[in-house]
Amino acid sequence: MSLSEKTLKILKEVDKVGAALTAGEEKEVVCPVCGGRLFVEKAAYNGHLHAECDGCKFAVME
């Protein structure tokens, strides 16, 4: 699996989880790439999503 495929897979999951969150909330889900813990957080101040996996160390800030 290429790096961009992994990124797209995680971003898709982050978007799905993020859509169900309200600003200031966070949720722990299973990382679709490594099976680790993926933390998704919606910032209280601007509603932007932040995600970080403790397995594959993937991190994204929208």
Positions touching Zn ion (CB under 5 A) are 31, 33-34, 36, 53, 55-56
In the chain, count H helices and then E strands. 1, 4
Query: 9 or 43, CB closer to Zn ion?
Result: 9
Query: 34 or 43, CB closer to Zn ion?
Result: 34
Residue at token pair 């790439």 = 33
With contact defined as beta carbons under 8 Å apart, do 58 and 52 qualify?
Answer: yes
How is residue 29 written in tokens?
């889900």
Minimum distance of Zn ion from residue 7's CB (angstroms): 11
Minimum distance of Zn ion from residue 8's CB (angstroms): 13
